Structure 1
Amino acid sequence: MNKPDGRRRTRIQQKNSQAILDAALEVFSSYGFRGATLDQIAQAAGLSKPNLLYYFDSKEDIHAELLAGLLDTWLDPLRELDPAGDPIGEIRAYVQRKLELSRDYPRESRLFANEILQGAPRIEAVLRGDLKTLVDDRAAVIRGWARAGKIANIDPYHLIFSIWATTQHYADFDAQIGMILDEPGTDPFPGAAAFLDLLYTKLLRPD
């Protein structure tokens, strides 16, 4: 638990707390939860370890706060899928929002991926709860569009999984992408956006 939250925090406390979270995001996304240490986080934040422990009781508390904020960010694009909108347009927009998250929040994406690779021990309740509820709801919307002939007859869950895979890849495997494209300094996201838009547009068109 972020200890100073129990009372009004000073500007310095707010600054230090955010510095710890920013540093922890870098450390966790690089080394994973198990490989990260409080000493690494404190050093990256420019604080002593005792000072860090004034704000957070443990590595677990820092990680939990990061994941809580991340999950809200991660769920928002799917929440924006409008059942009353144009089906193909709504799904294409969802793809683009997910790709933008990968572009703008690569460390957060890797933090999430590391947690999932470890079996999601710290966010299992959220995955089985809020995330599953939201995905079930949007899958029902997509299935309804397919039954009405507005999009191709596809499995809505595997469509969502595919969107996650094809968009988050650009954050989680950015080093691999850079090495394969062999174009230092080149932004892969415009090309990815155009390709994925074409891919899903063709996939979703009804026969």
Structure 2
Amino acid sequence: MLQRDRLEADILAEAVRTFAECGYEGASIAVIAENAGLSKQNLMYYFPTKQALYERVLDNVLDDWLERMASLADPAQSPQDLLRAYIQAKLRFSREQPLASRVYAMEVIGGAQVYGPQIRERVVPLLRRDIEVFEQWIAAGRIAPVNATHLLFAIWAMTQSYADFSAQMTLVLGRKELTRRDFDAAEETIIRMVLAAVAQT
């Protein structure tokens, strides 16, 4: 079992890199297998088709993302603390898993042709639940009235851009990669903006 888990992890790590660089259409199972140190036949024992491998990569991204979304519904914390932790977690994923984030972004930009049904089935119900939480906060006077849907869209865009559009950012900044200081500055700025949006006047 440990050997199987290790091989799957190696395959998935190479698949993430290849899909991020080449997209779904441009990625080759043979190349992924070779770079993972396996034969194509061996890889296909674990993932019988390219689509199965691609969907597993996207499943992993979405599992992480939805786990972070679910944290918004914790009644034991204040809305401000929950939003701060959510932004921090999303930025941490962009910093630690930029290639995985790019694979998901490329799928969505391409119209979610392969993964659209999973997004509808898994993201939409949780988004609706989180919107209900925001509405409860507003009704209880815990935050200012805000369009929760578009606030969450804005948080997604701001945090994920540090993975998906890091190439543009590094070009503008004149360096090879974003630093921890850049992510710390992004965190401070995004948190300040979001908490200002929900602050009571």
Identical amino acids, percent of aligned pairs = 35
Counting only pairs closer than 5 Å after superposition, residues 1-207 of structure 1 correspond to structure 2 as: 9=1, 11=3, 13-81=4-72, 82-184=74-176, 187=179, 188-207=182-201
Q: Which residue of 2 aligns with 1:4?
A: none
How far is the alpha carbon of 1:10 from its aligned partner? 6.5
How far is the alpha carbon of 1:177 from its aligned partner? 0.9
Mean Cα deviation higher: 30-39 or 165-174: 30-39
How far is the alpha carbon of 1:84 from its aligned partner? 4.0
- Counting matched residue pairs gives 198
Give the TM-score normalised by structure 2.
Answer: 0.90
Runs (5+) with no aligned partner, structure 1: 1-8
Runs of 4+ in structure 1 deviating by more than 3 angstroms, as ranges, are: 183-186
**Which whole-Å CA distance do the structure 1 matches of 2:15 and 2:177 have between them?**
26
How far is the alpha carbon of 1:123 from its aligned partner? 2.6
How far is the alpha carbon of 1:22 from its aligned partner? 1.1
How far is the alpha carbon of 1:186 from its aligned partner? 5.2
Q: C-alpha offsets along residues 98-133 of structure 1, whole Å, 9 cap, x if unaligned? A: 111111111111111111122223332322222111
CA 1:128–1:10 in 2, change beyond 3 Å: closer, same or farther? closer
**Which whole-Å CA distance do the structure 1 matches of 2:138 and 2:82 have between them?**
13
**Which whole-Å CA distance do the structure 2 matches of 1:185 and 1:175 have between them?**
8
Mean Cα deviation higher: 133-142 or 119-128: 119-128
Give the TM-score normalised by structure 1.
Answer: 0.88
